[in-house]
Amino acid sequence: MGLLDASGISRARRKLTLMARTHSPIDKVLLLLQVCKRVYQSLDTQPEQEVTSEHFLPALAYVLVCCNMPLLLLEVQYMMELLEPSWLTGEGGYYLTSAYASLCLIQSRPQAPPTGGMTSEAQEKLREWSRRRGQENITHAPSNQNQRLVRVLYQEGGQSVVRTLQWVDGEPASSLALSCATAFAVGQPHCYGLFCRAAGGEMKPLPPHALIHEAHAHSIGSLPSLSYLRVDHDTGKVRRLTRGGAVDLGGSVCEE
Amino acid sequence: MAAGGAGGNNKTYSFKVVLLGEGCVGKTSLVLRYCENKFNDKHITTLQASFLTKKLNITGKRVNLAIWDTAGQERFHALGPIYYRDSNGAILVYDITDEDSFQKVKNWVKELRKMLGNEICLCIVGNKTDLEKERHVSLEEAEGYAESVGAKHYHSSAKLNKGIEELFLDLCKRMMDMAQAEERAKGNGASQSGNVRRGVQIVDDEPQAATPAGGCCSSG
């Protein structure tokens, strides 16, 4: 079984650096998945040998050590906090968990008995996290049905802000756009519009007459999310990180 | 929809199942066999090696299974809670020719019951029945043990593709029953959308065992 070579490591490092620069937890987790795929590919050298999590976990830990990014744990925690529960139980969640487990492994003492491997501090944090996110899910879940809320991301230059806004049944996108203009204190509202992320991952403008609840179908997770962007923004740029529903993890596109 | 599934009639149940067991008992082969019907074949060209999904339709209800494989070596044991938290089911695999792997399953059972209580459906699976002649774990002992801890016992051979389909189907039915019982226990008020996420229940000093949230009447 192989491990990533020097060029593979620097590639992984570039992806993780890019991950640190993006804001969206979804984009971050997709980049993490690309790194994990590379690790798998490097392991899969002998046709007759099955690559399992047995091999993957230490290999990932090795790559993370080589990448030497002290703030990686923070990144992982960022995703654990902000990803929708549906993402946390999916493939992204699995590999996020593996990254977290690898970081625990790295932090554990080499000769620690089997009970080690996870510092008590990490255990406590995990507990707390589980409790908090679990609670949040219970308290938020009912509101999805009764309250009309939408999460709107506003990006301008290097700055991005997320606001949760309320809307009423039958309200068209144009009137929500007006609320956005106020919420984000935009000077020229006519230059901005609402966008939603389609199933394929790319950003699509929401027609002014479109109804908000129809845009739900395109949302990810429990709370619908839209973006409030300049109409002339570079959609290509937003697309780059999340292409295709199944996500092509080959990802040379993500190199910058 | 988060773990825990959903009530209603047309909703989809989503369950998280964690695979536990020692290194070479064949748990990965088992799940690959189930999800892709492949055995020891070169196929892992994508990320589909440790995290697998399966869609089922059981008595007209849709079920999405997310199967989380774990690293089974002893030195990774402590990482278990990171993987099994919020699981609806656990498949604990041992090798029928390896007494020690059965002992490891017992350790996992103890830990899961302590951390997650009765909210998790446990399956104990004796794999490699194609090596029956070299059996070192007696059937009576294994079945007796499973019953004593409220788990179900199964036999499988990933190599011959035996017992696997049944095992997963049975597990799904049990998880559905549990999810339905949970919903009933909570009452079917409008505020209930069914996706109760269960955190790892931490028992600090006293193993005060499970709060019976998945049980019958008195929870809630």
Contact (CB<8Å) B66/A89: yes
* Each residue's pLDDT tens digit, A24-77: 999 999 999 999 988 988 887 776 667 778 889 999 999 999 999 989 999 999
Query: B94 Cβ partners below 8 Å, 6+ apart?
Result: B21, B22, B25, B101, B102, B104, B105, B124, B125, B126, B127, B137, B142
Out of A41, A50, A117, closest to residue B78 by CB: A117
CA distance A234 to B28: 44
- How many Å apart are CA B146 and CA A29, to the nearest integer? 38
Return the closest-CA partner of residue B68 out of B91, B46, B45, B40: B91
At position B76, the amino acid (one-letter code) is: F
Name the residue with tokens 């992320």: A197
Three-state secondary structure string covering A16-43: HHHHHHCCCHHHHHHHHHHHHHHHHHHH
pLDDT at A183 over 90: no
Q: Which of A11-25, A138-152, B104-118 has the lowest mean pLDDT?
A: A138-152
Q: Between chains, do A91 and B47 touch, taking CB under 8 Å as contact?
A: yes
CB A102 within 8 A of CB B83: no
| pLDDT at residue A198 greater than cutoff 90 | no
Q: Residue A197's pLDDT band (boundaries 50, 70, 90)? A: confident
Q: Measured between alpha carbons, how far is A58 from A61 in angstroms, rounded to an integer?
A: 5
Cβ within 8 Å, pair A101-B81? no
User: What ipTM goes with this model?
Assistant: 0.77
Please give the single-letter amino acid code of residue B164.
Answer: I
User: A142: nearest CA in chain B?
Assistant: B191
Task: Answer whether residue B133 shows pLDDT above 50.
Answer: yes
Whether A184 has its CB under 8 Å from any CB of chain B: the answer is no
Residue A117 has pLDDT above 70, yes or no: no
Whether pLDDT at A246 is above 50? no
Q: How far apart are CA B145 and CA B103, in angstroms?
A: 11
What is the DSSP code (8-state) at residue A242? S
> Which residue does chain A place closest to B201, by CA atoms?
A127
**CATH homologous superfamily for the domain A6-144:** VPS9 domain (1.20.1050.80)
What is the per-residue pLDDT for B42?
40
Residue A252's pLDDT is: 40
Interface test with B, best of A42, A86, A94 (most B CBs within 10 A): A94
User: Measured between alpha carbons, how far is A243 from A247 in angstroms, rounded to an integer?
Assistant: 6
pLDDT above 60: residue A235: no
pLDDT for the residue numbered A144:
44
Instruction: Tell me what pLDDT residue B73 has.
Output: 84
Query: Which structure tokens are listed for A125?
Result: 């944090």
The pLDDT tens digits for B48-102 are 568 888 999 999 999 999 999 998 888 888 899 999 988 999 999 999 999 999 9
Q: Please tell me whether residue A243 adopts helix, strand or coil conformation.
A: coil
Q: Where in chain B does DSSP place strands (E)?
A: 12-21, 51-58, 61-69, 89-95, 121-127, 152-155
Average pLDDT, chain B: 80
Domain assignments of chain A as residue spans, ordered by start: 6-144, 147-255
Examine the pLDDT at A170 and tell me if it is beyond 90.
no
Report how far apart, in Å, the C-alpha atoms of B177 and of each of B6, B147, B184, B220 are.
11, 18, 10, 17
Residue B201 above 80 pLDDT? Answer: no
Q: Give tens-digit pLDDT for B140-154.
A: 999 999 999 999 999
Question: Is residue B191's pLDDT more than 50?
Answer: no
Grade residue A137 by pLDDT with cuts at 50, 70 and 90.
low
Distances (CA, A) of A83 to A20, A89, A193, B47, B65: 15, 10, 25, 20, 20
> What's the CA angle centered on A252, arms A249 and A254, to 5 degrees?
85
Contacts of the segment B142-146: beta carbons below 8 A, 24+ positions apart? B142/B94, B142/B102, B145/B106, B146/B122
Residue, of A175 and B102, whose pLDDT is higher: B102
Complete DSSP assignment for A111-175 = T--TT-SS-HHHHHHHHHHHHHHHHHHHHHHHHHHHS-EEEEEEEETTEEEEEEEE--TT-BHHH
A6-144 and A147-255 share one fold: no
Could you tell me the pLDDT band of residue A236, with boundaries at 50, 70 and 90?
low
Mutate to test the interface with B, among A33, A49, A53 (most CBs of B within 10 A): A53
CB-nearest to A127 from B2, B197, B200 is: B200
Determine if the pTM surpasses 0.80.
no
Determine the CATH number of domain A147-255: 3.10.20.90
The pair of three-digit structure tokens given for residue B73, joined into one six-digit string:
């070596």
Residue of B nearest to A115 (CA): B78
Q: Shortest CB distance from A118 goes to which of B47, B71, B79?
A: B79
Number of inter-chain CB pairs under 8 A, A vs B: 135
Least confident residue range of B25-39, B97-111, B167-181, B193-207: B193-207
Which residue, A221, A211, A209, A218, is CA-closest to A169? A211
And the tokens for A217? 């179908």
Nearest-neighbour CA in chain A from B83: distance (Å): 7
